[in-house]
Amino acid sequence: MQLPPIIPNWTRVYTGKVHDVYQPVHTLAHTAGDTMILVASDRIAVLDRVLPSVIPGKGQVLTRIAAWWFDRLEDVVPNHFLSTEVPPEAAGRAMLVQRLRMYPIECTVVGYMTVRAFEEYARAGTVGGHELPAGLSVGDRLPEALFVPSRKGEAGHDDETISFAQMCDLVGHEQAEQLREISLELYERAFGIAKAKGLIIAECKLEFGASYDSGDNDFVLADQAFTPDSATYWLESEAADGLPRAFGKEYVRNVVRKKAVEWVKGCGPAPVLEPEVVDEMGSRYRLVEKKLLGEGSAH
């Protein structure tokens, strides 16, 4: 397990499944304490649980991809990204971000039938509670992109898919409507950008917050949006042929489900990924970065 870095003059205030969050020791520094550091670790979590294995270099790759996306989506909705200029202890895998009041909702948009979505579809004919026509297969584009909210779980606890009505109860009807609209718009914009580069974004998970300023309730895109950890990427050429490979952590999820059946059921120790699985996962992260950012993006 990778330990969070020690950053002088910054205090770690939160450790999630794969991210660590820091705030200034002196609250008057960095815009009156409204600035935080978001560190992307090399940890990997599947089925809402952290594995003991790490994917070397993952944090750096995801940080570069997230910063790239934030720059291209800021006209859709503001985001919390400020800079990648951080202390040397976290350089390359961290970003300076705006401190936010986070909404307790994870906003998922599903545009294609993924392996995970197909499990529900095969059982109930639905995806995220939305009824779909019969005859769809993994790799098929859905008739329309679906908004699927969930109540975000803490590290070690499952995220819980909820209905839109339940989401309204949590955040209010007007806010829920706006979050759904923004999420779908972000997905469509990102989908078009990725498709032009030979990639399909089959689904994505988005998180939002709002400023701590009194009366400022404007939505702000947070976390690390549209990375291979928060979105399912396929190669466009493979999607057209059916059964596309997942170039995100869905690959590890599928491996774990096949080889660690008891752990998946909640029993036994967490599985240690085999070296070839670690290498393959790292290669898939880097391929997405290369496709999006181009050659030499790591330098």
CA 86 to chain centre: 22
Question: Would the pTM count as exceeding 0.85?
Answer: yes
Q: Is 221 exposed, middle or buried (0-12, 13-18, 19+ CB in 10 A)?
A: buried
pLDDT band at 139 (very low <50, low <70, confident <90, very high): very high
Residues of the chain within CATH 3.30.200.20 domain(s) are: 10-98
Q: For the domain with range 10-98, which CATH number is right: 3.30.200.20, 2.40.50.140, 3.40.50.2300, 1.20.1090.10?
A: 3.30.200.20
The mean pLDDT of 233-259, rounded to a whole number, is 90
Residue-wise pLDDT tens digits, 27-47 = 655 554 689 999 999 999 998
Average model confidence (pLDDT) for the chain? 92
CB atoms within 10 A of CB 53: 20
Q: Which CATH number is 101-241 given?
A: 3.30.470.20
Q: Who wins on pLDDT, 264 or 180?
A: 180
The mean pLDDT of 266-292, rounded to a whole number, is 95
- Whether 105 shows a pLDDT value over 70: the answer reads yes
- Whether 162 shows a pLDDT value over 80: the answer reads yes
pLDDT value for 239: 87
Alpha helices in 233-274 (DSSP H): 236-241, 250-259, 261-264
| Top mean-pLDDT range of 43-52, 63-72, 242-251 | 63-72
d(CA 149, CA 164): 7
Residue-wise pLDDT tens digits, 58-98 = 999 999 999 999 999 999 999 999 999 999 999 999 999 99
The mean pLDDT of 170-196, rounded to a whole number, is 97
pLDDT band at 213 (very low <50, low <70, confident <90, very high): confident
Q: What letters, b where the CB count within 10 A reaches 16 and e where it falls short, cover 100-139? A: beebebbbbbbbbbbbbbbebbeeeeebbebebeeebebb
pLDDT value for 154: 59
Count helices and strands in the chain by DSSP H and E runs: 9, 17
Residues of the chain within CATH 3.30.470.20 domain(s) are: 101-241
Residues of the chain above pLDDT 70, percent: 94
pLDDT band at 48 (very low <50, low <70, confident <90, very high): confident
pLDDT value for 297: 65
Residue 6 is encoded by which pair of tokens?
């020690």
